[in-house]
Amino acid sequence: MRLILLGPPGSGKGTQAQQLVRRYGIVQLSTGDMLRAAVAAQTPIGLKAKDLMAAGHLVPDEIVVGIISDRIEQPDAHNGFILDGFPRTVRQAEELDELLTNKHMELDAVIELKVNEGVLLQRIETRAAETRARGGEVRADDTPEVLIKRLAAYRSLTEPLVHYYADHRIFSTVDGMMSIEEVTREIGRILDATSAGTSKAAGRTTPAKRSPKRGAARARTKATGTKTADREATALARGAARGAAKGRPAAQKGAKSAKSARKAPKQAAAVKKTPRKGTKTAKKLAKKRR
């Protein structure tokens, strides 16, 4: 299970991350912790980060990505991880996508804890007042003034990630104003659905490949059928030619019959004229006898 929790300071990301670590046996990867660990281990990337931090410079994205790359290959991260504090910008998200692609990995979910900033300010004011009432000292980074600055930074830098990951179809939003237990249940429901979808996709079987013998047999059958069709077509053509040849004498006879039929009226007319000649001759003979 590989996921990212998004949300402004005070939204409860740390609390929910601890719940997920216990439930799924994954590790929570904080960029700050990873940087300190890399520096302590004196890895090549850790030494670069150490020099930059000593000079008061921000650690560039490529070094942070390099530290993450090394960390997620360690044995305890094989079951998955939760990224805490990274990515903070769209550019970092793009570099993370490239890193995971190169490692043939992908994120399973990006979950945003959506909260009301006004309520967050009220919570931190209440917490600061309770700490003072107990005689404790309020941390410098746990005051309403600091929270206001951190919220402004989140809106300008990190909130665009909501739109970036929304296009990846792995993004979900959870109401962070619910109780801790309700938020935990809702995140669990989302991740269970994600796991079920992944298992279903993995369980799809691909069509069985045809064996070479069966494929060859089908090819022979197809070829045989084609030859048979060609022979039948040739036989039909020859039969048609023979039929046409036989039809020529009949056609010639028909032409002669038609010619004879055209002559018949003339012959009939000639027959009609013959009796007239015979009638004249009979009349002459009768006069002579008289």
Span 80-127, pLDDT tens digits: 999 988 898 999 999 999 999 999 999 999 999 999 999 989 888 888
Q: What is the torsional sign of CA 118, 120, 121, 122?
A: positive
| pLDDT at residue 21, as a whole number | 95
Concerning whether 13 is annotated as a catalytic residue, the answer is yes
CA angle 83/84/90 to nearest 5° reads: 75
Concerning whether 150 is annotated as a catalytic residue, the answer is yes
119 lies in which domain range?
A: 2-26+79-197
161 vs 97: CA distance, rounded Å:
13
Concerning whether 2 is annotated as a catalytic residue, the answer is no
Q: Is residue 166 part of a domain?
A: yes
Concerning whether 139 is annotated as a catalytic residue, the answer is yes
**Spatial CB neighbours of 27, under 8 Å, sequence gap ≥ 6:** 21, 76, 77, 79, 80, 81, 82
- Nearest C-alpha neighbor of 7 from the set 141, 138, 177: 177
198 vs 180: CA distance, rounded Å:
27
Q: Is residue 155 part of a domain?
A: yes
Q: Give tens-digit pLDDT for 210-226.
A: 444 444 444 444 444 54
| pLDDT at residue 230, as a whole number | 52
Q: Which of 36, 114, 123, 127 is catalytic?
A: 127
Q: Is residue 236 part of a domain?
A: no
- In this model, does residue 247 exceed pLDDT 90? no
Q: Is residue 281 part of a domain?
A: no
Q: Which of 36, 88, 114, 123 is catalytic?
A: 88
Q: Which of 23, 132, 150, 280 is catalytic?
A: 150
Count of domains forming the chain: 1
| pLDDT at residue 201, as a whole number | 58
**200 or 130, greater pLDDT:** 130
CB 17 within 8 A of CB 72: no
Count CB atoms within 10 A of the CB of residue 157: 14
Q: Is residue 98 part of a domain?
A: yes
279 vs 277: CA distance, rounded Å:
5
Instruction: Decide: pTM greater than 0.85.
Output: no
B/e letters for 64-97, b = 16+ CB within 10 Å, e = fewer, are bbbbbebbbeeeeeeebbbbbebbbbeebbebbb
215 vs 222: CA distance, rounded Å:
10
Q: Is residue 45 part of a domain?
A: no
Q: Which of 13, 48, 50, 71 is catalytic?
A: 13
Q: Is the peptide bond before 87 cis (omega within 30 degrees of 0)?
A: yes
Q: Is residue 258 part of a domain?
A: no
> Confidence class of residue 287 from pLDDT cuts 50, 70 and 90?
low
Supply the CATH number for residue 119's domain.
3.40.50.300
Phi-psi region of 156 (alpha: psi -120 to 50; beta: other; left: phi over 0): alpha
Concerning whether 88 is annotated as a catalytic residue, the answer is yes
Q: Is residue 6 part of a domain?
A: yes
Q: Which of 91, 103, 139, 218 is catalytic?
A: 139
